[in-house]
Amino acid sequence: MMDLHRTELDGVVEVLPKRHGDHRGYFSETFRDDWFQANVASVLFVQENQSLSRAPGVLRGLHFQSNPSAQGKLVRCVVGAIFDVAVDIRAGSPSFGKWIGVKLTAERGNQLWVPPGFLHGFCTLEPDCLVAYKVTSYYCRECDKGVRWDDAEIGIVWPDILDLSQLSPKDTQQPSLADLPTYFSFEGN
């Protein structure tokens, strides 16, 4: 089975799969649909993505997809370690513009569920980080959006290892949160 840790951002959950080990290594269920549906979110994953970042300090983000292709993401670091970030962009949310950061490592096997309505990004903490994530909607170029990684209104404290020379052209040209139209609304519980 798995454990979970609900974060201070409503809907964002850290998932901690249990590992069963011995002298040979370990076995772990990294995903189980019935458990996820009952404990985290009732969603259907339709695609799995993988990214490799060769250097430490590579930042990817902050990204999201708008409707009708809004994506929830279940993120894990398969090799290495990353500082994974989610930011609430749901208009009317008590935590609008707030962020959380979780260190995801291959060693721990922990994962982060980032539902639709949140920005997502990460910074690699080691060389050759391999990140895999399941998503709830297919990639859609027209719905691919983002916000500046260094937006002062959000105030993310990125790791000191961050290497700005590694930013993609796309990530250097994102709007600020204040300039982002409303794409999601908070529905409350």
- In sequence order, the 6+-apart residues with CB closer than 8 A to the CB of 62 are 85, 87, 119, 120, 121, 146, 147, 148, 149, 151, 154, 174
Out of 133, 138, 139, 183, the active site residue is 133
Out of 63, 120, 139, 183, the active site residue is 63
63 is a catalytic site residue: yes
133 is a catalytic site residue: yes
**Dist. CA 125–CA 106, nearest whole Å:** 12
Residue closest to 99 by CA, chosen among 20, 162, 8, 38: 8
Query: Residue 9 in 3-state DSSP?
Result: coil
Write out the catalytic residue numbers: 63, 133
